[in-house]
Every structure is written in structure tokens, then in C-alpha cells.
Structure 1
Amino acid sequence: MPLAFAAPDTQSVPIHIVDQDGLSDWITKQDEVTQSWVNAHAFQAKLGKFLAVPSANGHVNCIIIGNGTAASRKRSRFALADVSNSLPAGVYHLQTELADDDATEFALGWLLAQYRFSRYATQADAGAVLKAPGNVDANRIQIIAQGECLTRDLINTPASDMGPDALETAFLNLAQKHNATPYIISGNDLIAQNLPLIHTVGRASVQEPRLLDMRWGKTGPQLTLIGKGVCFDTGGLNIKPAASMGLMKKDMGGAATVMGLAHMIMALDLPLRLRVLIPAVENAIDGSAFRPQDILTSRKGLTVEVNNTDAEGRLVLADALALADEEPTDCIISMATLTGAARVAVGPDLAPFYTDNTTSADAIRKGAVTARDPVWEMPFWDPYEKMIEPGIADLDNAPAGGFAGSITAALFLRRFVTEAENYVHFDIYSWQPSAAPARPKGGVGQGARALLEALPNMVNL
């Protein structure tokens, strides 16, 4: 399903955006047919509600979309564009002049609302196509939507078809599409090349653990993206209960989001050098599975006491972070579906992030507003460092007590980045639990659009 705007010269139906408190004034400026139709249907211009107004010959003359009140707009995003799934088939254009950011939100939301996951069951495509508003960057919006939909497809695909093998294939396809250079380390080669934690977590699976590595770009600042690629998480020997295991196909959401963001960066040809690292594993169970109380030695040389095999994501990320930190890098960003504690703290809609770099933090917060991609800054709280120090080893992968779980996980990861001065970690959910405007139930990207907006300030593009 192509996510694209209609050609500019296509005949189209106008869309009017009307504030709830401005409806009466708007009606007085319309023709008699429109006035009668709006009044007959008691249209109130509530946020996201729409009315199709017919012409004298019975065709659609225009669409009116309610813009609600200022208070209602604060409580929703993409509400206007979500109407696209309910409109009659045809081509539409935005008649109302919106501010640049609002027009961009409308256009992006329209494309994101067209997403369908149809790999296993036929899904009817939306018949309503939009002509890009004149004051938006149509090419950039289409690329962003394509990256987001790549992320959604990867997350929505079950582990039976999106294990480490398939994730590698998707990774290689992305590299080929953008003329990037991939490098794969798998199986026992992980041990030979000193990536022991990735091997340990994934060795019990039928599909070998591996590190996916991609480089793109020849000049500019160096950006390294690292995504947690746990294609399914049983919890290991600390096996999850059924209720907790049901959504674990999404435990590679960090990898999927990083790949979507990488697509945006490369398709937009940003002037930087990009490296993408994804430890791709399945946390499975057999006689070779790692055990509680095992003490593991990481690539960096730090030892880790395993107090819960279900805290595996930070282990595979640790080796990838250490590898990334071994070369000069202007910014390292890790993204992972890492902790349930983050969901308890901020719910499914916000993407928590951590950084000690104030320039990056400011840029991400501002980028999130522009991109309509909400985030929330969390602290690398130094006094909690002692919580991840078990005494018998350098680090504890699952501190007892249950407090500050997202923070202690972030502190654990920070131990493996000692050279790069600009490190950002996202603890994302990657799942839309119920349908929302432009976000159907299922896999969803979080933080990628905010980062794309923030990158020029984060790495001095």
C-alpha cells in the first residue's frame, strides 16, 4: 500500500477546517445549500467530526471537519486527519489555511491513518487520497510515514515470521535500498569477536543470536543508533506468565523503531555518517539457557550478576553499546522496549528518554512538540547507582525491591558508554493498546519523529 499524496493537478474536493466557536460565523459566509445542510444535520464542529456537503447533482461538494475547542485539541493529536478513513473514496485538498506545523500534522496524520497490516488478512484500503497542502514538505512527510509504517510492519509480524533470521533479512533489505554497508556477526562468531552477552542471551534459541551492523554516509558527524532486537521474550528460565508473554513479539520494538528512523535519515540524505547496531536474539529456553545467579563478563569487561533472566534486553544492549563506544561518535542513541516500570510511570503514549546532555534533551523536547511525537525526560539519577551494584559482581541486571526500574535499567546501560559525551536512551512501549487517531491498535513507532526533528541540534548538522 503506497503512502503518498495525490498529484497536485488532480481534481479534488475541498476540506474546510472549522473551529467549534467559529462555526456560526463560518456558516453565514457559505451558500444557501451549504447553510441548510449544516443546520439540518445539527453539525457542531466538535473535534474530529465531519460532514459531507452534497452539490446540486448529488456529488460531494465539500467536507467540513470540526476543529473543536482549544481544550479539546490539547487532548488529542491527528484527530482531524483520522477522518480520512471515513470519507467517501476520492481525492481531497485542504481549503482552509493552517499554520505550517498544523498543516504538517494534518498531512502526516492523513498518511499514517492509511496504514493497514495486511500480511495475514485482507484489509480494505482507504479510498480517500489527499493532495499535499502547499505549505508542507510533501516529500519529507511521505518519507517519515514510510519509516513509521516499516516500524509498524516489523512489530506487528509475529515471531514465527519475524525471528532473528527474518529481522536480519529486513535489515539487509533496508541496507540495500539505501546503498548502506551491512556486516553480520552470528552464532559462535559472537564469542570470537567478543560479544559474549548477545551470545549468552540468544544461544538457547533455534535461530542463532546475531549482531546486525550497518554503516551509511561518508561525511559529517557520526550518529550511532542501537535498537533492542529481542524477537520474542519468554523471560528465559524466569519464564513470564501467559498474560505477560502475549505481546512479546513486540520486544524487538527498539530495533523496529531504529530501522524506521534509519530509513528516514537515509531517504532524506541527511549530511551525517550513520551506524545502526541491532543485537537480534530470541530469549528462549533449553538446556543451554543462561541461569539466575550466573555471572557474565561483558565486552567491556564489566561483570554482571544475573538476578532475572527476564531482564535480558539490557544485556544484549550492553555489548552493542560498548562496541559503539569504542570509536569516536558524536551521538549514541539506544531504543528499547526495556521495562514495565516505564509504562507504569508514564503509560503507553509517552516515550521516556534519558540523557546527561542538556543540548540533546532540549532538542528532543522541542522536536517532540513539532513532530507531534510526545516524549518525557527521565533522570539518570546518580544516587541510585548503588542499586545496580550487587557486590559479588560489578553490576546487577535486576535489582531487588522494585523501585525505579526504568531508571536503574538506564543507569545500567550508561555504564557501557564511557567515551561518547552525548548518549541518549529511550525506554519505549512500541504498542498502541487501543485504536487512536492515525494509530491503529498494534505496533507503533515512538520517539523516531522527535529525534529526526532534533538531530540537527544534537549532532550539529
Structure 2
Amino acid sequence: MNQLLNANNQGIPLSILSTDNFDSWLSQQNELVRTWLKQTQYKGCGLSLIPNHTGALTQVVFIVETPEHYFSCGELAKQLPAGQYSLKADTKHHEAIAFSWAIGCYQFDVYKTVEKPQVTLGLASQTLADKVLKQVEATVLVRDLINMPPADMMPEHLAQTMSDLAEQYDANMSQLVGDELLEHNYPTIHAVGRASCHKPRLLDLTWGDEKHPKVTLVGKGVCFDSGGLDLKPKVGMRNMKKDMGGAAHVIGLAQLIMTNNLPIRLRVLVPAVENVVSSNALRPGDVVKTRQGLTVEIDNTDAEGRLVLCDALNEAQNDDPELLIDFATLTGAMRIALGTELPGFFSTNRKIANDIIDAGEDVFDPVWQMPLYQPYKELFKSEIADMTNCPTVPQGAAICAALYLQYFVDEKTDWLHFDVMAWNNRKLSGRPLGGEAFGIRAVYTYLASRFNA
């Protein structure tokens, strides 16, 4: 990634402008440039490679409607000849342009050889280049984790990823594996993952000064979700390698926090399991006692994410964190409500919610708050246990899933729950088909502002 951005201003000039500024820019160009653009019928939109009188590339112009959008130049690097380019744009747009330039070069290349753009963008400072590259690298980490085939991204692989991250940033990482979960009272994590030959585990990373404010991240790490005995249909199961997308999000966010050395005491909890069918698989109708002590009747084994999260959320309370945030690919209902490209979230603190929405708008990483409508808690009634793991009616399913999790969060804790797609269903500028990070730049921007980094 480092070769994509630097502080070298000696390359081919690359002018990136909004459509509103094109005429002004054009009036300042020499006759050769104006003639070239006229003869090539350039309409003041998109890319133009401008040669000199010998035919050598002498400058590039790229006109977009919104250069401040963090994905506006996502396809640009792939369209240019190899070489060093020097950015010429409004200074206030440099960060967004640099991010979209670099993230647009992303390709998942673990299993095949791909031709990568041989281009570098020169920025005004190395400080800016480094700042942008940290955001890009966190996004790439999230995408790579989600894109990995499930056979190569099981609970033990997630554990190795977090262990490597801990070593890189001088953090502490521990894990409970298999029956150790029962010994230390994490019964729902064990119940969901016990049927797999890939043992369930709870991954636990801590970093930072203990005197700093405590922020805890929890990520759903269902490395593959068959639905369990309530088996998913073929279409629904095809991309279920992405069901560990919540874990990928908190791992990427943790990297962003640590690499920028935010003054917080960070904890990351990832319940990592595979939800499969076997002779000892969790059954519809079973009753599981959670870490908190509530008993839960299993109405649907495909509502397993909330089961692994509830024990982890309960554990998170032990530190009395100032802020508790979880990410999960929890419900299809959220995608019905908001589509696949806008992540919904729930919050027990309206001010924090509004601040994160604003932060997301600033960095073009939009998020949308959904309501924790308390009357729907009545839908969790069970005749034989304290509650069920999901209502029997389909309406309001994303809200109900969040309400289930709220049972396991202390009332005084500021808590946010992100229900994300973690996947691009269509190719957009800088966003290829496959794994995607939603909301981590919004949350990081909020954290950096709140804790004065």
C-alpha cells in the first residue's frame, strides 16, 4: 500500500476538479491543451490524458461531480498509465481523493495473480499520506478477512489474526477454546459452536494505558453459518463466509485505533464459532442458560449471532467501559429496511448516535440510527424459559434482534449495536463485489474527536 501514496510532487500533474470548476480551469490552460480537449470532444466530465506536442503524456485532468466523496476517484488509478502523478486539487479535497485513489487499487489476490496498478499519487505532505494509508489499510484488512474462503477463515484463523495484531501493536491477547468456554461460563458461545470440528472460542485483546477511558468492541465471529438444524436454503447459504463480518469490522477498527495511538484503553471481544449441523448441534426447542443467568428457548438455530454475542456483551460489562460498541451481520431485515449499502445501528445514547451520524457524513461513511422500540420485548415471551432467542413473527426483526442484545447490556452503559451487510452486492467506484467495511471510519472519526486525538 505504501507505494500508492507519497509526498513527491515531481510527477505528471493530475488535476481533479468538480464539474462546476472545469470552465475556470480550462480558461487557464494553454492553447495546446484547449485544442486537444476540443478535438477529443471532451465534455468536462471524466478522464482525459493530455499529451504534449511530441505525444508524451504531460498532464491528466479528471472531472467529477463531488471530489469530496471518499470513493469519487475509486477507479482512477486503474485507468492511468504506470507512473508517478502529482495531485493538483483543492486542498480540502486531498484526503478524500487520496483515500479513493488508494482504496480503488484494492483487489483480493490471495488465490490468483492479478495485475495491480503501477501508479503513485504525490500529495502535499507525508503526514497526509500516512493518515490516509492507515484508513486504507484498516479497510483492506476488513475486506480481506471477509473475502477469505471459510475453510481458511475458521475460529482458529481469526484467533491467529488477532494474535498477530496484538504482537504488532504490543497488545495482550488471550482465548478460551472448546470446553474452556463452559468452564468459564460462556454457555451460549459453546452451544452454537460445539457441533463444528473447528472449536468455538472467545478471543480477547486488550491494548492501551489502563488509566485511559475504556472502549470495548465486540464482533460477531460466525465464520460460516449453515443455519444449523434450521438449515438455510442454497441461495441464503452461498455467501455465509461473510457472517464473521462483525468480527472483521472490530478487528479493522481496532487496528485503526492502535495505529493512530488513540488515548483509550481498548478491549476487543470476538466470539468465534462455526454454525453447522452435527449429532450434537443445538436444536430448536432446546433451552440454554446464558452467562448472565437468563434462560433462552431456541426458536430458531439460524438466529445464532445474538446467542454468541450475548455472552460476550455480558463479559464486556465487567470492565465498566465508557463506551461499548458491537458490530454484527445480524439480520436480513436490516437490509430490507435500509438496503445493503447503508448500515443501521442502535444506540442507548442519542447524542453519541447523532455525533457518529455526523462523523460518517464528514468522511462519506454513512450510518443510520434505528429505534430500540421497547414494547417489542413482549415478543420474546417463552412458556418454559425466561425468553426465546427470536420472535415467531417476522415484522421488526432487526429491532427485535437489537432488543435481545440489550437484555445483556447494563442500563448505565452507553452502547451501540451496528447491524451491517459487510458485503458489496454490486460494483461501485472503489468498491468491488465482495467483503466491505461499513461504519468503521465513521466510528473512528467520532472516537478521535471525542478523545481528542
Query: If the length of structure 1 is used for normalisation, what is the TM-score?
Result: 0.94
1:119 maps to: 110
CA distance in 2, matches of 1:136, 1:107: 12
2:404 to 387, 408, 412: 412
Alignment partner, residue 105 of structure 1: 96
Q: Of 213, 224, 234, which residue of structure 2 is paired with 1:232?
A: 224
Which has the larger displacement, 360-369 or 24-33?
24-33
- Tell me the amino acid that sits aligned with residue 71 of structure 2: F
Letter of the 2:291 counterpart: R
Q: Distance in 2 between matches of 1:195 and 1:233?
A: 20
CA distance in 2, matches of 1:119, 1:193: 37
Match of 1:398?
Answer: 390
Match 1:67 to one of 58, 64, 67: 64
- TM superposition shift of 1:200: 0.3
Query: Does residue 57 in structure 1 map to residue 57 in structure 2?
Result: no
Q: Secondary structure at the match of 2:8?
A: coil
Partner residue of 1:34?
33
Give the aligned length.
452
1:201-212 equivalent positions in 2, closer than 5 A = 201-212=192-203
User: What letter is aligned with 2:307?
Assistant: L
- Whole-angstrom distance in 1 between the partners of 2:6 and 2:64: 26
Give the aligned partner of residue 15 of structure 1.
14
Counterpart-to-counterpart distance in 2, 1:6 and 1:406: 40
Identity percentage of aligned residues: 38
Question: Does the CA contact (< 8 Å) of 1:226 and 1:276 recur in 2?
Answer: yes
- Post-superposition offset of 1:9: 3.5
Residue segments in structure 2 that go unaligned for 5+ positions in a row: none
Residue 425 in structure 1 maps to residue 424 in structure 2 = no
1:330/1:459 contact within 8 Å kept: no
User: What amino acid is aligned across from residue 137 of structure 1 in structure 2?
Assistant: L
Counterpart CA distance in 2 for 1:89 and 1:318 is 50
Deviates more, 1:18-27 or 1:289-298: 18-27
Q: 1:335 to 1:110 in 2, by over 3 A?
A: same
Structure 2 match to 1:140? 131
Tell me how far apart the structure 2 counterparts of residues 257 and 346 of structure 1 sit (CA, whole Å). 19
Deviation at 1:3, TM superposition (A): 4.3
2:88 to 82, 88, 95: 95
Matched residue, 1:177: 168
SS at match of 2:139: helix
413-422 or 428-437, which deviates more: 413-422
SS at match of 1:137: helix
Give the C-alpha shift of residue 21 in structure 1: 4.1
**Alpha carbons 1:305, 1:390 under 8 Å: kept:** yes
Distance in 1 separating the partners of 2:246 and 2:272: 11
Mapping 1:152-163, distance limit 5 Å: 152-163=143-154
Aligned to 1:308: 300
Partners of 1:223 and 1:459 within 8 A in 2: no
Match of 1:166 in 2: 157
Structure 1 position 383 matched with structure 2 position 375? yes
Asked if 2 retains the 8 angstrom alpha-carbon contact of 1:103 and 1:135, the reply is no
Q: Is the 8 A contact 1:217 1:274 kept in 2?
A: yes
Taking structure 1 as reference, are residues 269 and 297 closer, same or farther at Cα in structure 2, changes over 3 Å only?
Answer: same
Separation of aligned partners in 2, 1:424 and 1:381? 15
Listed as ranges, the gaps of 5+ residues in structure 1 are none
Counterpart residue identity of residue 78, structure 2: N
Q: Which amino acid aligns with 2:101?
A: W
Measured after TM superposition, the shift of residue 316 of structure 1 is: 0.1
Tell me the equivalent position of 1:341: 333
1:148-188 Cα deviation digits (max 9, x unpaired): 10111100001111111111111111111111100110100
Q: Matched residues in 1 for 2:15 and 2:151: separation?
A: 46
> Which has the higher mean CA deviation after the structures are superposed, 241-250 or 54-63?
54-63
**1:83 is the counterpart of 2:76:** yes
SS in 2 for 1:139: helix
Distance 1:138 1:22, change over 3 A: closer
RMSD: 1.8
State the one-letter code of the partner of 2:75: D
The residue type equivalent to 1:311 in the other structure is: A
Q: Which digits, 9 at most, give the CA deviation of each residue in 1:365-412, with x for residues without a partner?
A: 111012211111111111211112334322221211100111000010
Match for 1:281: what amino acid? V
Between the aligned partners of 1:254 and 1:193, the Cα distance in structure 2 is 23
2:156 is paired with a residue of what secondary structure? helix
Indicate whether 1:217 and 2:208 are aligned. yes
Structure 1 CA distance, aligned partners of 2:104 and 2:289? 46
Counterparts in 2 of 1:134 and 1:81: CA distance versus 1, 3 Å: farther
* Structure-2 change in CA distance of 1:388 and 1:93 (3 Å): farther
The structural deviation recorded for 1:133 is 4.0
Q: 2:256 aligns with which of 251, 255, 264?
A: 264
Paired residues of 2:6 and 2:120 also in contact (CA < 8 A)? no
Is 1:297 aligned to 2:289, yes or no?
yes
Q: Is the 8 A contact 2:5 2:98 kept in 1?
A: no
In structure 2, C-alpha distance between the alignment counterparts of 1:113 and 1:131, rounded to whole Å = 16
Say which SS state the counterpart of residue 72 (structure 2) adopts.
coil
State the 1:91 CA deviation: 1.2
In 2: Cα distance, 1:206 partner to 1:423 partner: 33
1:268-287 to 2 correspondences below 5 Å: 268-287=260-279
The alpha-carbon deviation at position 420 of structure 1 amounts to 4.5
1:459 Cα deviation from its structure 2 partner: 5.8
Output the TM-score relative to the length of structure 2. Answer: 0.96
1:27 Cα deviation after fit: 2.0
Are the counterparts in 2 of residues 229 and 278 from structure 1 also a CA contact under 8 Å?
yes
Instruction: Point out the more displaced range, 227-236 or 415-424.
Output: 415-424
SS of corresponding position for 2:152:
coil
